[in-house]
Chain A
Amino acid sequence: MQSDTVVKKDLNKDIKKNINLASKRERMKNYVYALVFLAPFMVLYLWFWVYPIVQGFISSFYTGSYGVEQTFAGFENYIYMAQDSKFWVSFGNTLYFVLISTPTIVVLGLLMALFVNMKLKGTTILRSIYFMPYMLSISVMGSIWVFILQSRTGLLSETLKMVGITTEIQWFGSWEMGWLSILIATLWWTAGFNMILFLAGLQEIPDDLYEAADIDGASSWKKFWYITLPSLKGVTAMVILLQTIASFKLFGQTFLITNGGPGISTTPLVHYVYQIAFRQWEMGYASAVSFVLFIAVLLISLIQYKVTKTKK
């Protein structure tokens, strides 16, 4: 009996070892194949993404005008940044936009998805209509909103004049209005994309949950609160994360619609980076500001990731 089991154990060991060896070789082979298939991508990725990031980090320690000379300056750019009031104003502007845009876009995307998902007549067309703005390039989107909102000659202003309302609204005329205009344009442009994400989430919720709720006589509000919303948790977390990052990267809208003004009221951080790099030609300082933005986005993403993970 005993020896029998010993033999069996040995045999098992042997087989396991063989399997292990085989799978090791197999795995190795897999890795190599994967590497070959990934290589074309990886080469380009390292070349056009990783290398510039590293180079950018290095140049953030240099000062000097682009194309003239660069001198190593240690942390000078970062020290200057701490005292640069325009940096803080534009950083504040970026945070403000993140705060106003993320919740509104997420809620609007969800509402649109819920509406389209009701499967009423014509919702297929609505779905396309909601999504369509997202397919426009940012320059087209920017021109459209300037065309609509600008004072005196804008579509809105002309229409109001035609129906007899002559009060002029200065859509780009102040800090509040400038941001409101950019928010509206951004909502119109990107809410459709979030709608599609939410729609995919909605369609993954099994019907039997609702059937069971119907049998229990749950109201539609309760069904939404206890079934739909909890089931969408994953999608919501993703949408919030994507939207936050996109809002941090805000540039095209302010560049094209308000040009950062009046004054620097609507200049977000990326817009300021552009001005430093390509108007002042100080690549070093621009890189330094970019890196601070990078770290801010990284931190916030990590926090969000942690928060949503523990909830699960």
Chain B
Amino acid sequence: MFKMKRVSIVFFVLVLFMVGCSSGEGNNTSSDGGGEAEGNGNDVIELSYWVPFSGSDGEFMEDMVSEFNKSQSDIKVEFMNNNWDDYYTKFKTALVSNTAPDVAVSHVSHLGELLPTDKLAPLDELASEAGLDWSDFSENQVNAIMKDGNHYAVPLDTHAVIMFYNKKYLGDAGLLNEDGSIKMEQGVEGFTEVLRTLKQELPSDVSPLVIGSNNVFTFWIWDALINQQGTNYIEDGQVNIDTPESKEAMNLMKTWLEEDLMPEDIGDNSYDIFKTQDAAITFSGVWATGNFETEESLDFAAVPFPQLYDQPAAWGDSHTLVVPNQDDKEKQIAAVKFADWLTENGHMWAEAGHVPAKTSVIESDVYQSMPYRSEYAAVMEDVKYMPQSDKLGAINDAILESLVKINYGQISVEDGIKEAQGKVEELLNK
């Protein structure tokens, strides 16, 4: 009997220990924050910082963080890079369970998913204390981060899908003007004619155009093309996919595929195909610039997405910095200061290919003298941000599924567009 008692005590202690572990952690974080707030004096404010830059742009951000840490001694930022694919899985879960970092990157397009959790701090008051001036940013960008009259994020950049072309191939086909721009008639026919000429003039193993026909690039290009025709896929909360404009955009892509002006069944290797000079033109993200530059034999130009319809438009998104809610206001102000520093030093970030958010940075000599970047910076004015919705990720996925089915001939353009309309309506009404 005695032994049993002893054993049960051991068991009890064990349970207490486990429970202690978990609540201990919880206490730690809160007392940590509180402690620093009180004893501010000479303490260094430590900020945890999450980013989704698993591509080549991660290194540039890491350099910027260490530069920031060197530039002053009050704030120390701890950098954590995450995989792009599941970043929002992680970040939103962390937000909801109150374990979020002090400052983090979010795409403008994902703010719609994050804001309803009420876990992101409105920045107006913090910004004025940190000395951040909203008028430094372009209007297009500031509008995208507003909700109910409050600013919720600090724009870091704009990134868009633009056009890259191989100067050698276009020159060979006689399609270059003297200044290096493409010789083409305005509009859809003009552009398709350029592709046809390339097909005729170039070796048979070089594709005139390459895009990711089974991945998100298909969606991005469709989005650009419908915006060029003056529509968007959600307007005033109503799904607006089953339109002549949508069908026109997909018919165009189908034409390119059927005339073999671009190869079928292409995914992320679209970058490689252009880089290894197996294609003459590609629509790709600005972030590919840094990647293409590493291939010395590749002589290319990077220009805004071509205008094929009535008005200029390009798919784009923007990296912004958000500050999760927490009791320690000091940390939040430090976070905004850090965000401001990042945008102020946007030329460093531009190395990765993105277009800096601050107009003063774009106009600076440092930026203007960078190769390629200044040529496509104008895309910022054409970028049409995606509609705001707390289900935007799922909506875009659903549309993409149908568009890819069209590309692979699993469904007709007509039915595919109708299917997308139905799926998105269902998602929104759920």
- Answer yes or no: are A and B bound together in one complex: yes
> Interface residues, chain A, CB within 8 Å of chain B?
28-29, 32-33, 35-36, 39-40, 43, 47, 65-68, 146, 150-154, 168, 170, 172-174, 259-265, 275, 278-282
B390-422 interface code vs A (CB 8 A; 1 in, 0 out): 110110010001101101101100000000000
- Shortest C-beta distance, A4 to chain B (Å), equals 39
* Contact partners of B273 in chain A: CB under 8 A: 152-153
In the complex, the answer to whether B410 meets A67 with C-beta atoms within 8 Å is no
Chain A nearest Cβ from B100, distance in angstroms: 11
Q: How far is the CB of A117 from chain B (nearest CB, A)?
A: 41
Contact B408 A281 (CB under 8 A): no
List 10 contacting pairs A-B, 8 Å CB cutoff, sorted by A. Answer: A40-B14, A67-B116, A152-B273, A153-B272, A259-B215, A260-B401, A262-B214, A262-B404, A262-B408, A275-B397
Q: Report yes or no: B265 in contact with A172, Cβ–Cβ below 8 A.
A: yes
Q: Are A279 and B264 in contact (CB under 8 A)?
A: no
B239 to chain A, nearest CB (A): 15
Task: Annotate B73-114 by CB proximity to A: 1 below 8 A, 0 otherwise.
Answer: 000000000000010110010011000000000000000010
State how many angstroms separate the Cβ of A24 from the closest Cβ of chain B: 13
Cα distance A146–B8 in the bound complex, in angstroms? 55
Most chain B CB within 10 A, of A174, A260, A262, is at A262
The residue from A39, A151, A260, A261 contacting B11, defined by CB atoms under 8 A apart: A39
Cβ of B116 and Cβ of A280 under 8 Å apart?
Answer: no
The answer to whether B70 has its CB under 8 Å from any CB of chain A is no
| Contact status A32-B4, CB under 8 Å | yes
Q: In the complex, A33→B214 CA distance in Å?
A: 59
Using known A-B contacts A263-B408, A280-B427, determine if residue A66 contacts B401 with beta carbons closer than 8 Å. no
Contact with A173, one of B88, B113, B264 (Cβ below 8 angstroms): B264
CB pair B402–A281 under 8 Å, yes or no, is no
Q: Is the interface of A mostly helix, strand, loop or mixed?
A: loop
Contact A261 B214 (CB under 8 A): yes
SS class of chain B's interface: helix, strand, loop or mixed?
helix
Give chain B nearest CB distance to A254 CB in angstroms. Answer: 13
Contacts of A174 in B (CB 8 A): 408, 410
Say whether B269 faces chain A, with CB atoms less than 8 Å apart: yes
Contact between A151 and B265 (Cβ–Cβ < 8 Å)? yes
B370 interfacial contact with A, CB 8 Å: no
Residue from the list A32, A146, A152, A282 in contact with B430, Cβ < 8 A: A282
Separation of A282 and B119 alpha carbons in the complex (Å):
18
Given contact pairs A262-B214, A278-B88, enumerate 9 new A-B contacts (beta carbons under 8 Å): A33-B7, A36-B10, A66-B92, A154-B269, A262-B407, A263-B408, A263-B411, A265-B410, A279-B397
- What are the residues of chain B within 8 A of A275 when measuring CB–CB? 394, 397
Q: Mark B262-291 against chain A: 1 for CB-CB distance below 8 A, else 0.
A: 011111010011001010000000000000
Known: A43-B15, A153-B269. A263 touches B402 (CB 8 A): yes
With a CB–CB cut-off of 8 A, which chain A residues contact B4?
28-29, 32
Whether B269 pairs with A150 at a CB distance below 8 angstroms is yes
- Which residue among B18, B214, B402, B407 has the maximum number of chain A CB atoms within 10 Å of its CB? B214
Chain A residues with CB under 8 A of B410? 174, 262-263, 265
Q: Which residue of A lies closest to B204 (CB)?
A: A166
Which A residue sits closest to B8, measured CB to CB? Answer: A32
A42 to chain B, nearest CB (A): 10
A39 to chain B, nearest CB (A): 5
Provide the residues of chain B in CB contact with A168, threshold 8 Å: 263-265
**A36 proximity list for chain B (CB < 8 A):** 7, 10-11
Residues of B within 8 A of A281 (CB): 92, 113, 390-391, 394
When distances are taken between beta carbons in the complex, the residues of chain A under 8 Å from B8 are 32
User: Are the CB atoms of A35 and B11 closer together than 8 Å?
Assistant: yes
Contact in complex: B405, A262 (CB < 8 Å): yes
Among B4, B402, B404, the most chain A Cβ lie within 10 Å of the Cβ of B404
Q: Is B117 an interface residue (CB 8 A)?
A: yes
Q: Which residues of the other chain, A, contact B408 by a CB distance below 8 angstroms?
A: 173-174, 262-263
Which residues of the partner chain A approach B89 to less than 8 Å between Cβ atoms? 278
| With A33-B7, A36-B11: A172-B267 Cβ-Cβ less than 8 Å | yes
Within the complex, which residue of A47, A65, A146, A153 is in contact with B116, where a contact is CB–CB below 8 Å?
Answer: A65
- Also in contact, A68 and B7, with CB within 8 A (given A174-B408, A261-B401): no
**Residue on B nearest A139 in the bound complex, by CB:** B83
A43 and B18: CB pair below 8 A?
A: yes
The answer to whether A67 touches B215 (Cβ under 8 A) is no
- On chain B, the residues within 8 Å of A261 by CB distance are 214, 401, 404
Given contacts A65-B116, A67-B119, A281-B92, contact A32 B7 (CB under 8 A): yes
Contact across chains for B116 and A68 when beta carbons are under 8 A apart: yes
